[in-house]
Chain A
């Protein structure tokens, strides 16, 4: 058995390219999600992908990635807006939105009893990564890095103390909306191969592990990116030879790393 033969196949090449592009983004964006305590928010965004596809199917859009993207962005902005205005707490609002959109998605997709056609969305399918998906990924990668370079300091300030940031004339609302849109974009383009059920773990776990070890923001980012890329590549490799779905395998490895860092970091 040759343990390098996995790169001989076209679909595996696509998969590894996708993983090398997307996992650093998961690491970077994840740090802020963990800082801002938005884990539930990104989870809800993942669930909205189901509705995005359903809307695409109803409107007859062939490329469901586009309808998913549009829906996820609208969903994220709406969620931000309503959670600011409402008197109920944020997690309640998110839960309402999330369950509502999942229900709509399930209702539309299960019409005619054909939900099994979409069940691969739940656990992800690594074969769904095509050239087109990689083009999307590259675009989002570039956009996210640019956004991060220009907006990170301000975002961090908002995360630490919103009122203080406002008093320094930062455009808090625009920043938060932009951040939500980026989370939506990243979640949506990777959901087809990672799977709705576990996409959030990929955003949270590397950053959470990194937080156990890191002492400053630079380390926090660096560790998160390293852990994320490492689990992504190793997970793909293991899943290929053991014949299990790729997304779950990546998450298992990332979880193992999280627990290890928890014990190492917790001791000191």
Chain B
């Protein structure tokens, strides 16, 4: 009988040693040495991170992004334990705001010491029923304001580096201004009779707003979701009734739906990028938006 106890003890001991050794090896292989007494800034997701990347360029701070959700936008994103650790160690947490970070209230409660910058504070967000549409970064005009808000708040929270933030803001804002001018030009080229549009992603409501397009129907294909036959019929009905000739969609989630609709009607689907993931490069927002505008320009100018 004693032998049983011994063997159980040995089994548990072996499992314990094995797990601990593997974990320690894993942790050692993945963690880097942390620099001290720098401000740590965490951005909630991609477009915010890119904005912060530009503002903090050349400034001695540590900028991190939360682990990438695999589903694009942050709705319903669950923080992982690594995210919680990251936020708890940070000084400033920059969020998009407008309710897209559903976990934000928990963060505020759990870590009252972390300063939070709400980049859409004071912005007029598009309303979707009772909810706000928080994808403000898809409007160049609004994104510029977000960038400004981030820079201003950073200056307040980290006054030592304020002059650098201001300089960076000027540089980035100039680039964005150029982008906005381009957008305005395209907007003027769009014929009035082709302004009716359907969007397959809430975020594109902001693109439509900038280009003065009239959104007739929104089918939110943001996350992997199942479309009911009734919704497809609604889209096709709206295409006929409102004389819609273009649909804005994200290729990743809406390709099947786009193909179906193109087959069933004369409408053309334009696949643009909601810029909620991509390369971690300073100019990737501008590049992405320019690509989107290329596509829109091609379609709208060729139809004239």
Interface of A is mostly: helix
Given A11-B110, A110-B226, A116-B225 in contact, is the A213-B23 Cβ separation under 8 Å?
Answer: no
Task: Check if B12 sits within 8 Å of A257, measured CB to CB.
Answer: yes
In the bound assembly, the distance between CA atoms of A113 and B88 in angstroms comes to 33
Number of interface residues of A (CB under 8 A): 39
Task: Check if A234 sits within 8 Å of B11, measured CB to CB.
Answer: no
Task: Check if A227 sits within 8 Å of B4, measured CB to CB.
Answer: no
Interface presence of A240 (CB below 8 A): yes
Can you pick out 7 interface pairs between chain A and chain B where the beta carbons lie within 8 Å of each other?
Answer: A113-B220, A116-B223, A215-B1, A226-B8, A242-B26, A242-B27, A260-B15
**Pair count A-B, CB < 8 A:** 86
Task: Check if A260 sits within 8 Å of B223, measured CB to CB.
Answer: no
Interface presence of A117 (CB below 8 A): yes
Nearest residue in B to A216 (C-beta to C-beta)?
B1
In the bound assembly, the distance between CA atoms of A117 and B199 in angstroms comes to 22
Interface presence of A16 (CB below 8 A): no
Nearest residue in B to A263 (C-beta to C-beta)?
B11
How extensive is the interface on chain B, given as a class?
A: 35 or more
A interface footprint on B1-29 (CB within 8 Å = 1, 0 otherwise): 10010011001101110110011101110
Query: Residues of B at under 8 Å CB distance from A?
Result: 1, 4, 7-8, 11-12, 14-16, 18-19, 22-24, 26-28, 31, 71, 75-76, 78-82, 84-85, 88, 106, 110, 220, 223-227
Taking A114-B225, A116-B224 as known contacts, 8 extra A-B pairs with beta carbons closer than 8 A to each other, sorted by chain A number, are A9-B85, A11-B84, A114-B76, A115-B225, A127-B81, A240-B81, A242-B23, A256-B15
Determine which residue in A12, A116, A237, A256 has the highest number of CB atoms from chain B within 10 A of its CB, and name it.
A116
Interfacial chain A residues near B82, Cβ < 8 Å: 243
Determine which residue in A127, A219, A240, A253 has the highest number of CB atoms from chain B within 10 A of its CB, and name it.
A127
Interfacial chain B residues near A117, Cβ < 8 Å: 76
